[in-house]
């Protein structure tokens, strides 16, 4: 009788899932299979894949590892987070409706309102933290409810279980963009979501070294359609990026512990600073989503936003930090600072997703928190 597979813990899966030593030489790192095609032993009988768009061993290892960490049956990797979103949205039909949380990633909003709307997909934004608003916004044609928690840049928390229950009752699937939390802190599929999406660019790869995306699901019908579309649409990542993403994934748990520790210290420091008028961090007492976050996440994440008196003051602070680099993006080992209004959120100015210009967003890296706080102290002046 076979012994049942041991239920390995998260940190162990990150090192071992999909990553057996190479059968020929025993290399402990999955090799970079830098190939576009595969020699076939006979016509129409490829060993595994016939062509590199359809699959690649390095990509496959990354996909298996990330699927294991999210607790999903399959993961599909893409060349960017938006490539992942586009391919996922192409599983829909003209006339279908997508419900977005009202502070969804600006690129997702732009994709739906400025690209896919022309192909017949309808979308609305709604405050998913408000059950009555969600119930009113669901339509008979709603196929997907799309949320981020914590959200960007206000770190709003949405109750994944509650949204999943309401969406499922209306016949819609739930997509959670888990880029901010990562599976180290939050596993949406275990909370009732149908699909998890990542910008691999951020915490999953973790070193600001590549652009990538991923979709994870256990839904058999969706797996079949996504398998077809991945190859048919072709927004796939190269083997080198998959190798780097997999290397990053191995240390996700330890990096997230350091990100969370640093962010909590930075949030406490900001909350006590006279020039800071408001701090957004789900772990702070008084944050409206703190209880739900504590329930569905194992820690509060590495992102912190805060407000100062004016937009001009926000710009001055963001240009004065030395350790926090002034840059868009997030989730790397190095700390970043940005002013969402004129930077990451410029494309949503005038839309329901517009943000205050006096808001600053921090991606707290894994440097020593004391050094980061000293840097913010001198920048706040």
Ligand X SMILES: *Cc1c(COP(=O)(O)O)cnc(C)c1O
Report, as residue numbers or ranges, the catalytic residues: 53, 105, 177, 202
* Least distance between ligand X and beta carbon 11 (Å): 24
Q: Which of 31, 52, 54, 107 touches ligand X by CB under 6 A?
A: 107
Residue with tokens 């398998």: 227
Q: Which of 152, 182, 296, 321 touches ligand X by CB under 6 A?
A: 152
Q: Which of 202, 255, 287, 361 touches ligand X by CB under 6 A?
A: 202
Q: Does 125 bind ligand X (CB under 6 A)?
A: no
* Least distance between ligand X and beta carbon 312 (Å): 26
Q: Does 237 bind ligand X (CB under 6 A)?
A: no
Q: Which stretch binds ligand X (CB under 6 A): 21-29, 173-181, 276-284, 293-301?
A: 173-181
- Stated as kind and residue range, the H or E segment containing 100 is strand 97-101
Q: Compute the distance between CA of residue 200 and CA of residue 66 in angstroms, rounded to an integer.
A: 10
Q: Does 209 bind ligand X (CB under 6 A)?
A: no
> Which residue's beta carbon is nearest to the bound ligand X?
81
Lay out the sheet containing 325-326: strands in order across: 278-280, 303-307, 359-363, 336-338, 325-326
Give the number of C-alpha atoms closer than 13 A to the C-alpha of residue 347, restricted to the C-beta side: 12
* Least distance between ligand X and beta carbon 25 (Å): 33
Closest CA to 269 of 261, 339, 257: 261
Q: Does 148 bind ligand X (CB under 6 A)?
A: yes
Q: Which DSSP symbol is given to 116?
A: G
Q: Does 194 bind ligand X (CB under 6 A)?
A: no
- By CB under 6 A, how many residues form the interface with ligand X? 15
How far is residue 371 CA from its own chain's centroid? Answer: 27
Residues 59-98 that bind ligand X (CB under 6 A): 80-82
Closest CA to 303 of 180, 167, 134: 180
Q: Does 345 bind ligand X (CB under 6 A)?
A: no
Q: Token pair for residue 270?
A: 């900001």
Q: Which of helix, strand or coil describes residue 74?
A: strand
Q: Compute the distance between CA of residue 220 and CA of residue 234 in angstroms, rounded to an integer.
A: 21
Torsion of CA 264, 201, 221, 191, to 10 degrees: 0
Q: Does 149 bind ligand X (CB under 6 A)?
A: no
* Least distance between ligand X and beta carbon 4 (Å): 37
Q: Which stretch binds ligand X (CB under 6 A): 22-30, 89-97, 176-184, 279-287?
A: 176-184
Q: Which of 76, 105, 203, 280 touches ligand X by CB under 6 A?
A: 105
Q: Compute the distance between CA of residue 97 and CA of residue 120 in angstroms, rounded to an integer.
A: 9
- Which residues make up the interface to ligand X (CB under 6 A)? 80-82, 105, 107, 148, 152, 177, 179-180, 199, 201-202, 211, 213
């Amino acid at each position: 009788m076979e012994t049942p597979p041991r239920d390995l813990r998260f940190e162990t899966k990150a090192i071992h899932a999909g990553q057996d030593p190479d059968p020929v030489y025993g290399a402990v790192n999955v090799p970079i299979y830098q190939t576009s095609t595969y020699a076939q032993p006979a016509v129409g009988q490829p060993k595994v894949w016939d062509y590199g768009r359809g699959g690649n061993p390095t990509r496959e290892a990354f996909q298996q590892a990330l699927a294991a960490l999210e607790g999903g049956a399959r993961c599909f990797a893409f060349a960017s987070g938006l490539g992942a979103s586009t391919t996922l949205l192409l599983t829909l039909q003209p006339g279908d409706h997508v419900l977005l949380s009202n502070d969804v990633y600006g690129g997702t909003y732009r994709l739906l309102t400025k690209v896919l709307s022309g192909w017949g997909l309808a979308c609305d934004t709604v405050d998913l933290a408000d059950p009555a608003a969600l119930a009113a916004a669901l339509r008979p044609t709603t196929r997907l409810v799309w949320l981020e928690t914590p959200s960007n840049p206000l770190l709003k928390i949405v109750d994944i279980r509650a949204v999943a229950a309401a969406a499922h009752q209306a016949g819609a699937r739930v997509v959670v963009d888990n880029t901010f939390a990562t599976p180290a802190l939050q596993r949406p599929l275990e909370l009732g979501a149908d699909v998890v999406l990542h910008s691999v660019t951020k915490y999953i790869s973790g070193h600001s070294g590549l652009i990538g995306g991923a979709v994870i699901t256990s839904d058999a019908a969706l797996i079949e359609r996504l398998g077809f579309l991945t190859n048919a649409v072709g927004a796939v990542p190269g083997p080198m990026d998959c190798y780097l993403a997999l290397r990053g994934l191995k240390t996700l748990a330890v990096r997230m512990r350091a990100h969370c520790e640093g962010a909590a210290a930075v949030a406490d420091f900001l909350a006590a600073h006279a020039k800071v008028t408001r701090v957004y961090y789900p772990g702070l007492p008084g944050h409206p989503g703190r209880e739900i976050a504590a329930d569905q996440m194992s820690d509060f994440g590495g992102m912190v936003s805060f407000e100062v008196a004016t937009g001009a003051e926000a710009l001055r602070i963001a240009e004065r930090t030395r350790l926090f680099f002034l840059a868009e993006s997030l989730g790397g080992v190095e700390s970043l600072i940005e002013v969402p209004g004129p930077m990451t959120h410029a494309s949503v100015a005038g839309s329901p997703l517009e943000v205050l210009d006096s808001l600053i967003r921090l991606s707290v890296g894994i440097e020593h928190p004391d050094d980061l706080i000293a840097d913010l102290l001198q920048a706040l002046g």
